[in-house]
Amino acid sequence: MRRTLPTFALCVALLSSSAAVEAAPRPLPGQTFSYGEHARQNITVYGDRSGHPALMILHGGSWVRDTDWSGRARWFADRGFTVYDTDYRLASDAAWPAQRDDVLAALRWIKRRGGGTPVVLGSSAGGHLAVSAGAYGAGRKRVRGVVALSPVASPYRAWQDGGMRAASPPQRKLRLTAELLAGCVPDRVSGRCWKKWVDLGAKSHASGRDDAPLYLTHSAADFVPVAHSTDLAHAQRTAGLRDVAVRIEPGTAHGGELLRDPAVAQTVLRWLRQRV
């Protein structure tokens, strides 16, 4: 994502009062705005805001890397969405719950600027943030629906999987970045650290009908296994959420790679359109 504020947008920000902000020109495709003071607390907007439903995108990268979703953001914008491609602080910038706090702040920013209540698309670590935002508190009030591609819905499960003898290199790396995100090694004896790992798991906040609808998908050989999503889906259904789907696609694709299959991309697009 681009991280420099365009000159025109900067002038508007400097000259506007709160009333003038509401009357500011609609953002042009690819304009970047700040929703906080940190360099990564920014949103790049694609598409025309007038009458189009809002879609927030949360990139993956194991909570430690920025990944480029601009091409896919334009793809969704070309199909009728105003897309808010959202960055957030990485685990190297701040420990949890800073990342969830950033997503919630970005959602408030979108609502204040006329985006209303968006649907959210998250990939891998971004999928974790997406399902977390949809479940934290009364998630349905801030999110219309969540599509999560290979979501790391349970960082603790990822930590366990990465410590197994048969763990793949990506799973071992994810174990380390989950530790960095939490800021501590999970230990059930240490109450404060264990509470943070519990809080990291999206299913610990499942409240059923108060939460956003879910479409969760993994590939059959995903290094983030589908158990992340089936456990979350079970918790949500038990709590009373009925609009939950878990889908397994063939192959080894992970996160945004799943959208390279046109059938998967169209299914995701159709699901998102049905929730706005």
Residue 201 lies in a domain: yes
Residue 2 lies in a domain: no
Does residue 269 register a pLDDT over 80? Answer: yes
Residue 1 lies in a domain: no
Residue 261 lies in a domain: yes
Give the integer Cα–Cα distance in Å for 133 and 153. Answer: 11
Residue 159 lies in domain: 7-274
Q: What is the pLDDT of residues 171-203, one digit of tens each?
A: 999 999 999 999 999 976 667 899 999 999 999
Look at the chain and report how many structural domains it folds into: 1
Q: Which of 158, 159, 88, 147 is nearest to 118 (CA)?
A: 147
| More reliable by pLDDT, 24 or 169 | 169
Q: What is the pLDDT of residues 116-165, one digit of tens each?
A: 999 999 999 999 999 999 999 999 999 999 999 999 999 999 999 999 99
Q: Which of 121, 157, 105 is nearest to 271 (CA)?
A: 121
Amino acid in the structure at residue 176:
L
| More reliable by pLDDT, 28 or 73 | 73
At 219, which CATH number? Answer: 3.40.50.1820
| More reliable by pLDDT, 247 or 24 | 247
Q: What is the pLDDT of residue 51?
A: 80
Amino acid in the structure at residue 196:
K
Q: What is the pLDDT of residue 50?
A: 75
Does residue 10 register a pLDDT over 80? Answer: no
Residue 71 lies in a domain: yes
Q: What mean pLDDT do residues 22-39 have?
A: 73
Beta strands 82-86 and 42-46 are: antiparallel
Confidence of residue 29 (pLDDT cuts 50, 70, 90): low
Model pTM score? 0.88
- Please tell me whether residue 121 adopts helix, strand or coil conformation: strand
Give the integer Cα–Cα distance in Å for 162 and 147. Answer: 25
235: its two tokens: 């918790």
Q: Residue with structure tokens 């879910």?
A: 214
| Mean pLDDT of the residues in the chain | 90
Residue 127 Cα distances to 108, 155, 218, angstroms: 19, 11, 11
Residue 203 lies in a domain: yes
Does residue 2 register a pLDDT over 60? Answer: no
